[in-house]
A and B are shown apart, each in its own frame.
Chain A
Amino acid sequence: MRTFERMDLAGSFMKARNAAILAILLPGLAYALVATASDRLFWGAAIPPGRALRAALVLRDDVTPFQKWGSRQFTQPYLDRYYDAAWYFTQSDRADHKQEFLSSLRNALERYPQVDLILLAHTNRFVEWVAELPPQARGQLRLIYNTGCRDLRQGPIWLDLGAKGYIGHPGLSTSPVFYFYFLRRWTRGATAESAMEESNARMRTVLRRLEPLTLGLLDAERAHRESEAYCYGEKPLRFTGNGI
């Protein structure tokens, strides 16, 4: 034991000062690596003008507690920071929160000229809920983002209901990846189209990186083809409301 300890100490190869510098730098290097791999940083991003005109509603469907938790923790700060008013609903079953949702939506549409809807739900028919509101009350609907698989086809229906724009996915989508990038860009003032295109590109990169790790289970190109978001409606649709 003693022999081993002596060898171990005698073999130390770095001075304490240099080791301390390296030990302090290592967390920074690790963070730089992770931050670079995840997304560009938006340090000190200003709140785009017109916050007082914006409201948003988010509906999360009944998924695992972890997914519910992650969706809310990620979304809530963007709602709080970039919208004047926001409502977040987490369902416990398919019909959960219908009345509260419609009541809050009506309230938002009466008070705000730009109301965004974010539907964090598997293939869904929330469009039928919103259709229950009288047509004159739906005029302030702005962007609808729907994570639901194959719900891109709802685009024309949402536009008929009065929405200015609709973004959805055509197939079995990896929408959580897209949503992570999209919300961060849309709320920082990008147009819906540019936020969508950049998020599609980022999602493709993530899928390509994941492909070798899944040992062939994931076909990145196919997953991207099915997940690639498309936009219906007015272009450019901007978060600040300019350019509509």
Chain B
Amino acid sequence: MAKSRCASPGTAFRSAPRRHLAIPGIALLFQLLPPVLIGAVARAAYSEPRLLPEAWERPVSLLVLGFSAGVSFLLGSLGAYGLLTRSRPAVAWGLIATCCLPALLGGAVYLQGLLVFLAWV
């Protein structure tokens, strides 16, 4: 029992820095997905023959926008939090500016798209 307690923190210590550096990269890479998904929905809805039933077009579209906004915000925020708490200032601000902010702005665009498409704003 005592041995495993000693081994555990060491393992966590090695993997944690990788994770906090990886999340901003994943957040940025994720931004490639929403345009692909939106393009796929559009093609499925307006290709001949139609692959996406008309009744599904709207819910699927809203779902894609909501999912894209939510995941972008989550990854952008988690990435920023990890960097702010675990990295040196230069590394943190650099990765926040290049990876987290684009992800957060992408999320904001998808959220605004969702709200406009719902005629709520």
B121 near A19: Cβ-Cβ < 8 Å: no
Residue A52 interfacial (CB < 8 Å): no
B interface bracket (residues with beta carbon within 8 Å of A): 35 or more
Which of A23, A24, A42, A74 counts the most chain B CB atoms within 10 A?
Answer: A23
For A30, the chain B residues whose CB sits under 8 A away are 73, 76, 101, 104-105, 107-108
Q: How far is the CA of A54 from the CA of B105 in the complex (A)?
A: 38
Q: Mark B55-77, 1 if CB is under 8 A from A, else 0.
A: 00110010000000000010011
Q: How far is the CB of B26 from chain A (nearest CB, A)?
A: 15
Q: Which of B43, B104, B119 has the most CB of A within 10 A?
A: B119
User: B3 at the A/B interface (Cβ < 8 Å)?
Assistant: no
Interface check A217, CB cutoff 8 A: no
Q: Is the CB of A73 within 8 A of B61?
A: yes
Between-chain CB contacts (< 8 Å), 7 pairs: A13-B92, A27-B76, A38-B112, A43-B120, A65-B46, A74-B116, A77-B119
**Which of A4, A14, A19, A27 contacts B107, CB < 8 Å?**
A27
Cα distance A64–B42 in the bound complex, in angstroms: 9
The answer to whether A16 and B77 have CB atoms under 8 Å apart is no
Top 10 A-B residue pairs of the complex, sorted by shortest distance between their CB atoms: A11-B88, A69-B42, A19-B84, A77-B119, A23-B81, A34-B108, A65-B46, A30-B104, A30-B108, A65-B42
Answer whether residue B94 sits at the interface, using C-beta atoms and an 8 A cutoff: no
Taken together as a complex, chains A and B put the C-alpha atoms of A78 and B121 apart, in Å, by 11
| In the complex, B32 has a CB within 8 A of chain A | no
| Cβ contact within 8 Å between A34 and B105 | yes
Across-interface contacts of A33 in B (CB, < 8 A) = 105, 108
Chain B 91-110 per-residue mask, 1 if CB under 8 angstroms from chain A, else 0: 11000000011001101110
**Across the interface, do B38 and A13 meet the contact criterion of CB distance under 8 Å?**
no
The interface residues of chain A lying within 8 Å CB-to-CB of B119 are 77-78, 80-81
Q: Is A65 a contact partner of B17 (Cβ separation < 8 A)?
A: no
Contact with A along B27-57 (1 / 0, CB 8 A): 0000000000011011101111000000001
- Contact partners of A218 in chain B: CB under 8 A: none
Instruction: Pick from A5, A26, A76 the residue with the most CB of B within 10 Å.
Output: A26
Complex interface: chain A residues within 8 A of B111 (CB): 31, 34
Question: Given the complex, which residues of B lie within 8 Å of A244, measured CB to CB?
Answer: none
**Residue B5 interfacial (CB < 8 Å):** no
Which chain B residue has the least Cβ–Cβ distance from A19? B84
| Structural contact, A66 and B118, CB atoms closer than 8 A | no
Contact flags A1-42 to B (C-beta < 8 A → 1, else 0): 100110111011111101110111011011101110010011
In the docked arrangement, what's the CA distance between A15 and B84, Å?
8
Report A54 CB to chain B, min CB distance, Å: 15
- By the criterion CB–CB under 8 Å, are B121 and A69 in contact? no
CA distance A238 to B39 in the complex (A): 37
| Most B CB within 10 A of own CB, among A7, A16, A72, A90 | A72
- Kindly list chain B residues whose C-beta atoms are within 8 Å of the C-beta of A80: 119
Name the contact of B112 in the complex, choosing from A31, A73, A78 (C-beta under 8 A): A31
Nearest Cβ in chain B — how far from A108, in angstroms?
20
Note all chain B residues with C-beta closer than 8 A to A9: 17, 86
Q: Which of A133-149 contact B (CB under 8 A)?
A: none
